Amino acid sequence: MSGLTRDASPATSLTMSNASPKTAKKWTCAECGVTVSRANGERVALPDAWDKSREGTFCLLCRRERAARAALESAPANCGIEEKAKLRRAALIEFEVRRRPNHGNGEIAKACRSSVAAVVAARKRLKLPAPERVA
């Protein structure tokens, strides 16, 4: 992504025109405030790992954190620390499997700092097939 700059400014507003909603002079994560822009001020596409929804625009790190938070919020009140850790881990793995279903189990496991077995189990829970192997 040559020419892109990222800063962690706390601003959360988007600089966009109505002409092209997929590009902007600057994208800012609504949660952490990290921004993506070009040093020369040209418009830039929304980064592939980012998501824009009704709730706002979020970077990959915040998208993962939101998935984990949602899982923890749905946990029973008497849920212990170990169970919460398992829920959080499963939510992160499921998020990655949904986000990149065609990526290998090992690649997803590495991104989640988890095991291949945990990714395989997540695919089964989500009823998503394993990606085809490329020879």
Note the maximum CA span of the chain. Answer: 53
Count other C-beta atoms under 10 Å from residue 27's C-beta.
Answer: 23
The answer to whether 128 touches 103, Cβ cutoff 8 Å, is no
pLDDT given for residue 134 in this prediction: 62
Say if residues 107 and 129 touch (Cβ distance below 8 Å).
no
- Contact between 24 and 15 under an 8 Å Cβ cutoff? The reply is yes
Q: What is the pLDDT of residues 34-78, one digit of tens each?
A: 999 999 999 999 999 999 999 999 999 999 999 999 999 988 889
